[in-house]
Amino acid sequence: MRLALALVHYPVLDRSGETVTTAITNLDLHDMARSARTYGAERLFVVHPVAAQRALAERIREHWVEGSGKRRIPDRAVALDVLSVVSSLEEAYGALSSEGREGVEIWTTAAASRGLPVTSYAATRARLAQATRPVLILFGTGWGLAPELIADADVRIEPIRAAASAGYNHLSVRAACAITLDRLLGERTAG
Amino acid sequence: MRLALALVHYPVLDRSGETVTTAITNLDLHDMARSARTYGAERLFVVHPVAAQRALAERIREHWVEGSGKRRIPDRAVALDVLSVVSSLEEAYGALSSEGREGVEIWTTAAASRGLPVTSYAATRARLAQATRPVLILFGTGWGLAPELIADADVRIEPIRAAASAGYNHLSVRAACAITLDRLLGERTAG
């Protein structure tokens, strides 16, 4: 298994459904890097088309991996070392496979399926264990991944839901990433 | 089932193992409130002994539940309405049961079991479904809950782990809360 994650800042939706570019949130990088490392994902690509925003993400990474942050909390260096800051998803595909998009399985996560067929977590867990190509799971910031990313995916993972709906389903991207990794790669103990 | 969560800022450990009081982190309240609402927890108690820190948490709550935050993102009002800011765990027990501590099941989460017996997630999921008293799950900030809280618990939930250890296990409290709720109350679909 080779698994990587991508935190997508463009193209994503805003709350009115328009395609926008979102700003980088410091805690997204920390939380998703820590979750990635805990579950064995090899990379967390931070995808941002704006150079100044990429520089911010690089500064956060350097502070924790090489700077004073590392001396204060060495564990955090191990986590943030999984960050790769890239300008586009194509750049992430290229980093994972010399064949680019064709060499990578793209999986999407979304709070709603928008009518497209989805794959259950049980099936994706089995598929991940047997994947021959590297798998890249996309997580959207803002109000979620743009429709063209979801349409282009090899696997659209089913929305995360509670067993008994509480009538509310608005997890943060940090929480959704943690739950997705746990459903795909978490320990399953007997009662 | 009656389930509530507590985000504990005292007594918790710092990285040298000393008992300390931590500061409130804005995104903890947002993420854990959203996760709580998604999975049907009735309350998220923010436990802090310092009045100025409680006032900060109340201001965050009011901004989103009653103020301009609600007009901008109405969904967030629904989530942050689960917040109750209290000065101690005893106050949380009293809010859940007229019998106080005796009327509540206290469950703890921790990254390491410290040698005390723990209960598997499979067993806690079944126990939660059948609980007659309200269940309060404690989450520690900083480097985790103080030992006396773990020793006093009715149930110590096993540490969250990946199926294949990646040699790193340092989830954020926001991620650990999301995974815990999903393991206890998440939808389980067949393959």
Residue B191 has pLDDT above 60, yes or no: no
State the smallest CA–CA distance between residue B160 and chain A in angstroms.
8
* Token couple for A92: 């992430």
Residue of A30, A122, A162 with shortest CB distance to B191: A122
pTM of the model: 0.97
Residue A58 is predicted with a pLDDT of 95
State the smallest CA–CA distance between residue B39 and chain A in angstroms.
5
Residue B99 is predicted with a pLDDT of 97
Burial class (CB in 10 A: 0-12, 13-18, 19+), A118: buried
| A130 Cβ under 8 Å from any chain B Cβ | no
Instruction: Give per-residue pLDDT as tens, B39-66.
Output: 999 999 999 999 999 999 999 999 999 9
Low-confidence ranges of chain A (pLDDT < 70): 190-191
Residue B105 has phi, psi (to 5 degrees) of -90, 125
Residue A191 is predicted with a pLDDT of 53
* Token couple for B11: 């007594």
Residue B14 has pLDDT above 60, yes or no: yes
Residue B189 is predicted with a pLDDT of 76
CB contact under 8 A, B162 and A37: no
Contacts with B, A 63-102, CB within 8 Å = 73, 75-76, 78-79
Residue A84 is predicted with a pLDDT of 97
Instruction: Give per-residue pLDDT as tens, B71-120.
Output: 888 888 989 999 999 999 999 999 999 999 999 999 999 887 778 999 99
* E-only strand ranges, chain B: 3-8, 12-13, 19-20, 43-47, 83-86, 105-108, 135-140, 155-156
Q: How far is CA A70 from the centre of its chain?
A: 24
Residue B188 is predicted with a pLDDT of 87
CB contact under 8 A, B178 and A175: yes
Residue B114 is predicted with a pLDDT of 78
Residue B19 is predicted with a pLDDT of 98
Residue A75 is predicted with a pLDDT of 87
Range list of H helices, B40-159: 51-65, 68-72, 74-80, 89-96, 121-130, 147-152
| H helix or E strand, kind and range, residue A46 | strand A43-47
Residue A188 is predicted with a pLDDT of 87
Q: How far is CA A155 from the centre of its chain?
A: 14
| B130 Cβ under 8 Å from any chain A Cβ | no
Handedness of CA A59, B26, B144, B159 (dihedral sign): negative
Tally of CA atoms within 13 A in the half-sphere of A89 that contains its CB: 26
Residue of A73, A75, A179 with shortest CB distance to B178: A179
Instruction: Give per-residue pLDDT as tens, B116-172.
Output: 999 999 999 999 999 999 999 999 999 999 999 999 999 999 999 999 998 999 999
* Token couple for A171: 């997890």
Q: Report the relative pairing of strands B19-20 and B12-13 from DSSP bridges.
A: antiparallel
C-alpha span between A109 and A138 (Å, rounded): 6
